[in-house]
Structure 1
C-alpha cells in the first residue's frame, strides 16, 4: 500500500510538471501600456513588452499592426533594444535588429500623436520573430466580456474622452422672402423708374405771335399806302 501511494504521488508530480511545461509557452504574451488612459488623448507613449518563449533563439523583430484611427505616420520611436531600428509599414511599424539573448524579453516604446476619439479598446496585433525564424502571432482580438483567446493581441483599455463640441451654424443675415411677400411687391426696373414728362404745348403762343406779326405788317402797309396817295394828291395852294 505504501509503495502504491508513493507511485501515485510520483505520477501526480510528473503530471503537474508536464502541465506547467505545456502551459509555459502559452503564458508568454506581448503586452502594452499607455501613459494616458483617455480616448482622444494626444502625445501618448505606448510601452510594449514581448516575453521570450523560445529556448533556442532570441527575439529579433516585433511587427505591430496599428488599430483603426492611428496612422503609421503618427507614430515615432522613443526607445528600443540597443542596435534596433524603427520602420513604418503600410499598416503599422516594425522594430528590429540583432537577435537578443535567448530568454531575454524585447521592450520598446513609441509615441502616438493622438489616440482615436470614441474608442475605449485598442488592439495592437503583433508578430514576434526569433533568430531561428520562428514566429509567434499575437493577433487575436480580445473581446470585452469574453475569455482571453490563446494568442491575444496586446490591448489598451481607455476611458471615454469628452464629447466633441457641437458645430454651430451662424444664421444668415437676410431671411429669404416668402412667395406671398414676393408676389405682393411689384418689381420696378431702373428704366421704368424714370418717366419722361410730356413736352409743353406751345400752340397757343405761336398763334398769338402770328397775329401780332400779321397786324404789324398790315399797319406798315396801310401807312405806306396813305403816304403814297398823299404825295400824289395835287396841292390846292398851287
Structure 2
C-alpha cells in the first residue's frame, strides 16, 4: 500500500473515531464552571440547550441539594424570563456567620415569557450566586426542562461509580480546594534567580573571552612588527665586514 493511501486510511479512521466519541456527548443541562472552592461563595451558570427539533424550552427547574443546604442564593435577572426561588424549612439548622439559618432555597424556577423561549438549535444561560459552599464533596443539581409541546426532560441521573455518563446526567458542581499560595510563592524566587543568574554568567564569560582575544591580537601584532636581524642591506654589509 502506498504512503498516500495509508495516510488517507489513517485520516478516515481517526475521523470516524472522533465522530463516534463525540456523538454520545450530546448537549445536556450543565453547570459552569463545574468546580468551586469549598467554604466560599461562587457564581455559577446553568446552561440549557434545546435539543428538540420541533419544540422550544419554556421552563427550567433546578433543585438544590437538600443534604447540603446553601444559606445564600441570589438570582441574576434575565430579560424575558421570570425567576422564582422556593425556600424550605431545614430539618437541621445550619450556622452561617455565627447565626442559625433555619430555611434555605431548595428550588429555582425560570419561566419564559412569550417570545423568549429557547428555540431549537439555541441555548440559554441562567446565573446564580451561591454560598457559603460545603467544605468538601460535590453538589448535585437535579434539573427539569419543559418544552412547549409538554415534554419534560428530567436531568436527574447522579454520577456513576464507574465513571460512565448516565443517559440524563444531573449538573454537578465539584468542590476542590484551591492550590496553596505557599507553593506558588516558593517557586517564584527560584524562577527569578535562574533568570537573573543566567545573563550574568553569560556576560562574564563573554567579557573574559573578549579580553583574551584582545591579548592574543596584541601579541600577534607585536610579533608581526619584529623583523629578523640581517635582512636589510645595511645589516648584510655590517655582517660581511
TM-score with structure 1 length normalisation? 0.51
Aligned to 1:135: 152
How many angstroms does 1:161 deviate by?
7.3
How many angstroms does 1:118 deviate by?
2.3
Relative contact order (alpha carbons < 8 A, sep ≥ 6): 1 or 2 greater?
A: 2
Aligned to 1:158: 175
Which secondary structure state, in structure 1, belongs to the residue aligned with residue 76 of structure 2? Answer: strand
Structural mapping, 1:1-238, within 5 Å: 27-34=26-33, 37-42=36-41, 44-67=42-65, 68-71=67-70, 74-80=72-78, 82-89=79-86, 90=88, 91-98=106-113, 99-119=117-137, 121-143=138-160, 145-160=162-177
Q: Is the 8 A contact 1:118 1:161 kept in 2?
A: no
Which structure 2 residue ranges, 5 or more long, are not aligned? 1-15, 89-105, 180-241
Q: Tell me the distance in 1 between the aligned counterparts of 2:83 and 2:133.
A: 20
Q: Tell me the distance in 1 between the aligned counterparts of 2:72 and 2:146.
A: 24
Q: Tell me the distance in 1 between the aligned counterparts of 2:80 and 2:170.
A: 26
Q: Would you identify which runs of 4 or more consecutive aligned residues in structure 1 move more than 3 Å?
A: none
Which secondary structure state, in structure 1, belongs to the residue aligned with residue 108 of structure 2? Answer: strand
Which structure has the greater CA radius of gyration?
A: 1
Aligned residues: 138
TM-score with structure 2 length normalisation? 0.51
Q: Is the 8 A contact 1:79 1:110 kept in 2?
A: no
Q: Is the 8 A contact 2:73 2:128 kept in 1?
A: yes
Q: Tell me the distance in 2 between the aligned counterparts of 1:102 and 1:34.
A: 24
Q: Is the 8 A contact 2:61 2:145 kept in 1?
A: yes
Q: Tell me the distance in 1 between the aligned counterparts of 2:150 and 2:57.
A: 10
How many angstroms does 1:35 deviate by?
8.5
Q: Tell me the distance in 1 between the aligned counterparts of 2:145 and 2:34.
A: 23
Q: Is the 8 A contact 2:34 2:173 kept in 1?
A: no
Q: Tell me the distance in 1 between the aligned counterparts of 2:139 and 2:50.
A: 23
Which secondary structure state, in structure 2, belongs to the residue aligned with residue 27 of structure 1? Answer: coil
Please, what is the CA RMSD of the aligned residues? Answer: 2.8
1:136–1:35 Cα change, 3 Å:
closer
1:129–1:111 Cα change, 3 Å:
same
Q: Is the 8 A contact 2:35 2:173 kept in 1?
A: no
Q: Tell me the distance in 2 between the aligned counterparts of 1:35 and 1:147.
A: 17
| Larger proportion of strand | 2
1:53–1:35 Cα change, 3 Å:
closer
Q: Tell me the distance in 2 between the aligned counterparts of 1:85 and 1:116.
A: 28
Judge which range, 133-142 or 32-41, deviates more.
Answer: 32-41
